[in-house]
C-alpha cells in the first residue's frame, strides 16, 4: 500500500530562479523531469533535480521570435511524447518537450478585444491547455481562448492539425482538463483506463463536460453553473474538480451531473490548483499566501480533508505542481519572487 503524503511545513528546499514568474493562473507546470513557467514574454524550463536540491537552477528559456506576452505554458504528454505548449495573443505554439523545436502553430484573430464577465477588456489570447484522447484512440491537445473558443489539435504521431473548434462557451475560457491529462498521459498500474472526456471552464463560472468521440467530434454532455470565475479544472474517475477564484473548490459528480461537495479552501483569490498524477489529492495555492493539500471526497456527505497547509509570508502564490520521485514533492512559485519552494 502506498504511504500517505506527509509533508512538514519546515522541511523544504528553496531553489533560486533566474527570472520571476508572472502573475497568471496556474503558472507552474511539470512532467517527469521538467518544471516550466512564464516570465513576461518568455517560457522558462528547469530540471526538477535542480529544484529538489535547492540550488540556483540552470534554466532554459524557450526562444521565441515574438515579443508579445505569454499567458500560459504547459507541459503535456501524448503517449510516450511530451510537448511544451505556449499561449499568447497571436496564438498557440507547440514545441517539443525540450522547448527546442516549434512543431505547430495555430493563429488567433489579431487585434480583437473582448470583455470578460468581470467587465475587464482583454486582447484575445489563448489560455487553458489539456491533453485528451478520443474513443477511437487518437490523441489531441486542446487549447482555449479568451474569445470562448476551444481548439482541438489532433496528433497522429508525426504532425499536428486543427481538427475541430468548439464554440459553446459564451465567456472567456480559463482552463481545460481531462482525466488522461491528470495522469500525465497514462493511468497508473491498477487504475481504470481514463475516460475519453474533456473538461472546460470559463470566466462566468460555467463548467462543461465533453465526450470525445473522434478528433473531429466532441459532444457536450452537460454543464454546471458555479458562482464565480473558475481558475482551474481537473478530472479523476467520476469526479470533476473546479477551483474558483473566490477560494471555493467544487467537486462535481459526472453521474449525477451535480456538485456533491464544496470546499472553502482559501480566503482570497485562488490562483492555481494541481491534481496529483497517481493519488486522489489536490493542492491549491492562493494570493492569501497559503498552500494546501486536500483529499478528494469520494461521495456525498464526505468532506475534503486538509492533509497539509503552510504559509509563505507576503507571497502572491501563482503556481503549484506535484513533481519528483512518484510526483510526491510539491513545488510552489510566487509572483515577483526568485525563490521556488519545494516540500518533500
Q: Which DSSP string corresponds to 329-342?
A: EEEEEETT--EEEE
Instruction: Assess contact for 74 and 129: CB atoms under 8 A.
Output: yes
Instruction: Let me know if residue 5 belongs to a domain.
Output: no
Residue 53: per-residue pLDDT: 85
The residue among 297, 303, 302, 342 whose CA lies nearest residue 319 is 342
Q: What is the mean pLDDT of residues 215-237?
A: 97
Residue 1: per-residue pLDDT: 47
Instruction: Assess contact for 178 and 197: CB atoms under 8 A.
Output: yes
Kindly report the number of other CB atoms within 10 A of residue 301's CB atom: 8
For the cut 80, the answer to whether the pLDDT of residue 4 exceeds it is: no
Instruction: Let me know if residue 55 belongs to a domain.
Output: yes
Can you give the three-state secondary structure of 294-307, one letter per residue? EECCCCCCCCCCEE
Spatial distance between the Cα atoms of 105 and 94, rounded to a whole number of angstroms: 6
Spatial distance between the Cα atoms of 226 and 33, rounded to a whole number of angstroms: 35
Bigger pLDDT: 188 vs 257: 257
| CATH code of the domain containing 126 | 2.130.10.10
Percent of the chain surpassing pLDDT 90: 79
For residue 157, with 0-12 CB atoms within 10 Å meaning exposed, 13-18 middle and 19 or more buried, which class applies? exposed
Spatial distance between the Cα atoms of 83 and 74, rounded to a whole number of angstroms: 8
The residue among 232, 39, 42 whose CA lies nearest residue 129 is 232
**Which is it for the CA torsion 69, 71, 75, 81, positive or negative?**
negative
Q: What is the mean pLDDT of residues 165-175?
A: 95
pTM of the model: 0.94
Residue 120: per-residue pLDDT: 73
The residue among 63, 73, 74, 112 whose CA lies nearest residue 90 is 112
Residue 118: per-residue pLDDT: 65
Instruction: Let me know if residue 228 belongs to a domain.
Output: yes
Name the strands in the sheet holding 29-30, side by side, starting at the edge strand that comes first in the sequence.
29-30, 34-39, 42-47, 60-61
Bigger pLDDT: 114 vs 153: 153
Instruction: Let me know if residue 181 belongs to a domain.
Output: yes
Kindly report the number of other CB atoms within 10 A of residue 329's CB atom: 21
Query: Over the stretch 130-140, which tens digit does the pLDDT of each residue have?
Result: 999 999 999 99
Q: What is the mean pLDDT of residues 297-310?
A: 92
Helix (H, G, I), strand (E, B) or coil at 268: coil
Measured at the CA of 212, the angle between CA 206 and CA 214, to 5 degrees, comes to 145
Spatial distance between the Cα atoms of 72 and 24, rounded to a whole number of angstroms: 7
Instruction: Let me know if residue 4 belongs to a domain.
Output: no
Close Cβ partners of 65 (under 8 Å, ≥ 6 residues apart): none
Q: Domain range spanning residue 241?
A: 12-343
Instruction: Let me know if residue 1 belongs to a domain.
Output: no
Name the strands in the sheet holding 281-286, side by side, starting at the edge strand that comes first in the sequence.
270-275, 281-286, 290-295, 306-311
**How many domains does one find in the chain?**
1
Instruction: Let me know if residue 318 belongs to a domain.
Output: yes
Instruction: Let me know if residue 78 belongs to a domain.
Output: yes
Amino acid at each position: 500500500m502506498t504511504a500517505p503524503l506527509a509533508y512538514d511545513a519546515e522541511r523544504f528546499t528553496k531553489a533560486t530562479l533566474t527570472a520571476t514568474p508572472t502573475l497568471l493562473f496556474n503558472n507552474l507546470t511539470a512532467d517527469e523531469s521538467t518544471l516550466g513557467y512564464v516570465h513576461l514574454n518568455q517560457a522558462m524550463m528547469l530540471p526538477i533535480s535542480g529544484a529538489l536540491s535547492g540550488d540556483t537552477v540552470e534554466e532554459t528559456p524557450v526562444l521565441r521570435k515574438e515579443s508579445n506576452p505569454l499567458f500560459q505554458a504547459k507541459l503535456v504528454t501524448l503517449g510516450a511524447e511530451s510537448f511544451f505548449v505556449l499561449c499568447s495573443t497571436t496564438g498557440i505554439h507547440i514545441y517539443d518537450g525540450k522547448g527546442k523545436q516549434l512543431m505547430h502553430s495555430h493563429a488567433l484573430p489579431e487585434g480583437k478585444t473582448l470583455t470578460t464577465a468581470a467587465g475587464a477588456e482583454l486582447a484575445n489570447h489563448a489560455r487553458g491547455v489539456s491533453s485528451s484522447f478520443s474513443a477511437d484512440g487518437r490523441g489531441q491537445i486542446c487549447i482555449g481562448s479568451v474569445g470562448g473558443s476551444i481548439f482541438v489539435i489532433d496528433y497522429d504521431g508525426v504532425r499536428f492539425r486543427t481538427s475541430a473548434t468548439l464554440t459553446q462557451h459564451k465567456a472567456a475560457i480559463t482552463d481545460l482538463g481531462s482525466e488522461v491529462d491528470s495522469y500525465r498521459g497514462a493511468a497508473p498500474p491498477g487504475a481504470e483506463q481514463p475516460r475519453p472526456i474533456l473538461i472546460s471552464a470559463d470566466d462566468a463560472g460555467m463548467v462543461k463536460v465533453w465526450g470525445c468521440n473522434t478528433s473531429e467530434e466532441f459532444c457536450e454532455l452537460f454543464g454546471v453553473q458555479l458562482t464565480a470565475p473558475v481558475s482551474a479544472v481537473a478530472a479523476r474517475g467520476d469526479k470533476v474538480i473546479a477551483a474558483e477564484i473566490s477560494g471555493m473548490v467544487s467537486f462535481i459528480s459526472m453521474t449525477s451531473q451535480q456538485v456533491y461537495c464544496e470546499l472553502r479552501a482559501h480566503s482570497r483569490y485562488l490562483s492555481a490548483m494541481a491534481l496529483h498524477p497517481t493519488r486522489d489529492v489536490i493542492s491549491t495555492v492562493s494570493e492569501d499566501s497559503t498552500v494546501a493539500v486536500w483529499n478528494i471526497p469520494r461521495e456525498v456527505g464526505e468532506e475534503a480533508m486538509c492533509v497539509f497547509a503552510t504559509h509563505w509570508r507576503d507571497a502572491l502564490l501563482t503556481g503549484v505542481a506535484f513533481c519528483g520521485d512518484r510526483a510526491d514533492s510539491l513545488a510552489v512559485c510566487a509572483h515577483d519572487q526568485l525563490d521556488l519552494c519545494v516540500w518533500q
